[in-house]
């Protein structure tokens, strides 16, 4: 007799089902890995960009007025004096002069901590600020697990 028996068909379908399930699992794993790498890259790039914006403002400021949970800088131009950085609802904000505070971090990034420490040097009389931030990929208002990234730097006015 030509053809396949019922047992053979069941075995073939079982083997095909197992192979298809394995292939889909590998594909899904690779896709999740690609998404995680993209999210981490976005977190790193945006954290670095945000830190650079803060450092640039510090360098062009006249003095560091206050540094704790917020950073207040005295600027030469009255239109942007004072410049204040802070943390609000997971976003770093900047307020320049009498303007409203605006976010400088994208909505895909969640900032879980931001701290400023003023370091006063006596000779020569200068101030430096230590900037520390912890960011991650925004997962509905919290940091997505495995995407948290911390950085810190110091900056001082270039007067």
Average pLDDT along the chain, 159 residues, taken 10 residues at a time? 80 94 92 87 92 95 90 92 93 94 93 93 83 90 83 89
Q: How far apart are CA 21 and CA 29, in angstroms?
A: 12
Q: How far apart are CA 157 and CA 121, in angstroms?
A: 13
- HSE at residue 56, side-chain half, CA atoms within 13 A, is 7
Query: Exposed, middle or buried: residue 153 (CB in 10 Å: 0-12, 13-18, 19+)?
Result: middle
Starting at the edge strand found earlier in the chain, the sheet holding 83-88 runs 63-67, 71-74, 83-88, 91-96, 102-103
Query: In this predicted structure, what is the pLDDT of residue 115?
Result: 95
Q: How far apart are CA 82 and CA 86, in angstroms?
A: 13
| CB 111, CB 129: distance < 8 Å | no
Beta bridge mates, 109: 137
Q: How far apart are CA 106 and CA 115, in angstroms?
A: 19
List, as own/partner pairs, every contact residues 28-37 make where C-beta atoms lie below 8 angstroms and the sequence separation is at least 24, other chains included: 36/146, 36/147
Q: What are phi and psi of 3, to 5 degrees?
A: 110, -175
Beta bridge mates, 88: 91
Query: In this predicted structure, what is the pLDDT of residue 1?
Result: 60
Q: How far apart are CA 23 and CA 28, in angstroms?
A: 9
Other CB atoms within a 10 A radius of the CB of residue 113 amount to 12
């Amino acid at each position: 007799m030509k053809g396949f028996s019922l047992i053979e068909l069941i075995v073939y379908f079982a083997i095909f089902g197992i192979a298809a399930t394995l292939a889909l699992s590998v594909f899904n794993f690779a896709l999740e890995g690609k998404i995680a790498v993209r999210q981490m890259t976005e977190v790193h790039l945006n954290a670095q960009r945000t830190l650079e914006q803060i450092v640039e403002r510090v360098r062009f400021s006249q003095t560091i007025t206050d540094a704790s949970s917020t950073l207040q800088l005295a600027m030469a131009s009255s239109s942007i004096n004072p410049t204040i950085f802070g943390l609000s609802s997971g976003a770093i904000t900047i307020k320049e002069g009498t303007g409203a505070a605006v976010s400088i971090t994208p909505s895909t990034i969640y900032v879980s901590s931001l701290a400023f420490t003023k370091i006063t040097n006596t000779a020569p009389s200068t101030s430096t600020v230590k900037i520390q931030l912890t960011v991650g990929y925004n997962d509905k208002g919290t940091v997505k697990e495995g995407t948290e990234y911390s950085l810190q730097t110091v900056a001082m006015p270039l007067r």
